Amino acid sequence: MFAEVAPGVFSAEHQVAEGKNAVLFGARGALAIDAGMYLEEGLAMAAFIRDRGWEPERFALTHGHGDHVLGASPLAGGEVYAHALTPKVIRRQVPGWAAKWGKSEAEVEAELIWPTVTFSEELCVDMGGRTVRFFPTPGHSEDSVSAFVEEERVLIGGDAVVTGIVPAIGDGDGATLEASLRRLAEMEIEVLVAGHGPVLYGAERIRD
């Protein structure tokens, strides 16, 4: 389930459409990015972090869709990073989840993990010897962000980027997504962990 894509940077598979979460380690601890749709996926990520001597105290969402949010409760022991629009995106889905699970909307909201640190432009997280820069990449959803590990030039794209499968616009906008992809194409990326699909290696292949 876990694969080391660069030193201290791991992709973590989840069950929806070849989905990929991520776990990063630095001198200051661990950072999990996205959690899949199911509780067992978040539990596996939390256990993976603890097996390496850390607690799951930092968690980030690339956007608020269910296949990134619903497995998150085991990972939310501290700060939760997300775009400022992510709470709104999550709340839009609560009525559907409540109907599906036979619960009240208040019960569903109480069970979900909510961002504690939000941003609109950019957020840098110092992991100790490793800097993770989050920045908006809207289009798949209005709150989509990607994460760039500066030292290893690893992009954790969220659903702004998919590989090997047909892109899904979701509740977003195709022209906005195209603009985000053009910006990403200008970056020097050595490893691409897409939100769905296989991991890609090498700047030339990634640009293609």
CATH assignment at residue 190: 3.60.15.10
Given pLDDT bands bounded at 50, 70 and 90, which one contains residue 13? confident
Question: What is the count of structural domains for the chain?
Answer: 1
The pLDDT tens digits of the residues spanning 50-61 come to: 999 999 999 999
Decide: residue 53, CB within 10 A, 0-12 exposed, 13-18 middle, 19+ buried. Answer: exposed
- The per-residue pLDDT for 180 is 86
Closest CA to 203 of 130, 131, 154, 145: 154
Six token digits for residue 60: 């980030």
Residue span of the structural domain in which 80 resides: 2-207
- The per-residue pLDDT for 67 is 87
- The per-residue pLDDT for 208 is 57
CA 41 to chain centre: 13
Question: Which residues, including other chains, have CB under 8 Å from residue 110's CB and lie 6 or more apart?
Answer: none
The pLDDT tens digits of the residues spanning 131-152 come to: 999 999 998 889 999 999 988 9
Mean pLDDT of 8-12: 93
What's the mean per-residue pLDDT of the chain? 89
Q: pTM score, two decimals?
A: 0.91
